[in-house]
Structure 1
Amino acid sequence: MAGEGVHRRTYSVDVAAPAGVVYGLIADTTRWPLFLPSSIHVERLDFDGVQDRFQTWAEVGGSVKSCLFRRTLDAAARRIDFCQEVPAGPAPSLGGRWTVEATAPDRSRLALDHELTVTDGRSEDTARMVHATDTTSAAEVAQLKTTAERWDRLDGLLLSFEESVRVKGPAELVYDFLCGIADWPGRVPHVLRADVAEERPGVQSVRTETRSGGGPVRTAQTVRVCFPHAFRIVSKETAPGEPLQAHTTEWSVLPGERDVTVLAQHQALLREDLGTGTAAARAHVRDLFGGQSNTVLNLAKQHAETAIRIL
């Protein structure tokens, strides 16, 4: 097409893991935030086993971008074709494919091909986009290799748990408390500081300092994506410290006939080089974030029920 050019990039790596394992990691987008460094959240919209449509939020070039993708999965060929449904910026189209080739019973080759169609005359924008794509894609392929090569130990490193509370109050008041993390210092005992920047409505970049019990101060950088109409907030720590490789949280408010149920759901991937051992690390993560979540949930409950009594 006149006025446009195509930039093609290929990123490949040999993986010491079965091809089916590698393909499975790529096929399940819902776990990308645990396995891909740039992925913040994936909201699956439609999926029939072959055709997949989803919204992603990811850190690209230092900021959080949201994109809508379509994919076609071919499990037999271990190939996944994808394209960006609503292209943005200097790229009228962005797409490509993932392929996994078995090279031995327990070894494979993973390849990611990208095709970017860019508008001529915007060389600085094009260079920036190509650089961001290179950086993100290389990191994704490297992390998938690292994760896949732990496939026989991965179940022991993954951790999922939730806390919940019932509230006799409106979902809106509970959600407002959960969304207003900037107001938590002075209201939530373990939150010492919360600096919030909102790059765009509903996407919060948060730097917190917390301390539970007599433990050390823990500093965390988190991206939160808020869905006010669904009373949900999803978040991911973008640079988690030990013993975490990745950590995501989802806060959700489920309206009922007479009350609402509020959930805090955590998913974590532990580092493998744990000096204290995996069992101790699992217990530490469960106790720390479970205890903090319970505190927040009960304060949200108190906030909503007190407001109702005052009214």
Structure 2
Amino acid sequence: MYIGVCVMITPILSNNYQSNYNPNFKGLEINKIPPFKNYINKTFDRFAQVSKTRWHAIDRSLEPNLKEVKKKFGDHVLHAMDINPYNEKKYIIFFHGIGQNVTSNQALYKRIIDKGYGILSCEYGNFGNNTEKLTTKSIQNTADMAIKHLKSQNINDIGVVGYSAGGFPALETAVAAGENCKFLVLISPINSLKDEFNNVAKGNMVKLPKIVKFVLKKIPFIFNSLENILNLKQTIKKNNAPTYMIYSIKDSVVPPTSTENLSKQINNLRGIVKLKEGGHSIDDGKLDAFSNLPL
């Protein structure tokens, strides 16, 4: 059986993925997983393409005080949305999930402002206006740029919030900020890029041939090379900031047991909000839970 599988998949071998949507996207840094490299790149390219369109209109209450940030640091560019209507001297750096952009979570932005913070919502990887690869290094660059941008405005008191896969850049930012990071909040966090692809590969956004789905199901270790690209479980051990988690036990994207296991590895866990209702998205329940955190 496995010989037949190899023969059928051989024609799709490729080391050079080229996006039909975004010529700047050359694929993830995945060097050890052909023949599935193209399918994995295609999956995340589709999410990246979705994120390029700002589907959400800017909330009228946010628009007057919204500043688009496009700031160059060496060879890299920070793309972000800066909102600080009351000229606060403390900020929250926020990172959205896969397939989203800086306009996607405006309801949360308003809750952040209500808690007395300015907000810097950053693009990362190849999402939104960014064109870099989705790698640990590019995310670390974004974290450094976000911190430097706020320091240039004499803002040193920061918190960090990450939603879903945005937990990766949020965690890297918390670690990079060190003592200046007063807290980290993870909302519906995904443990690793390996887990994320395992989930999206089972969905309908990217249609995979039946033979590929069969192999992915029967040979799950095909995802192992994704494990070291973005891994919350590895980096969480470096974080010493007070950390809070918000998630739903009905999350269909990230199993609750996965989130609970992640919480056991946090050095300075201050609180977990486990919601009985809701799913993976930032719904009213998660917004209320965030508003009630002692930040």
TM-score, normalised via structure 1 length: 0.24
Structure number with larger C-alpha Rg: 1
More strand by share: 1
Which has the larger share of helix? Answer: 2
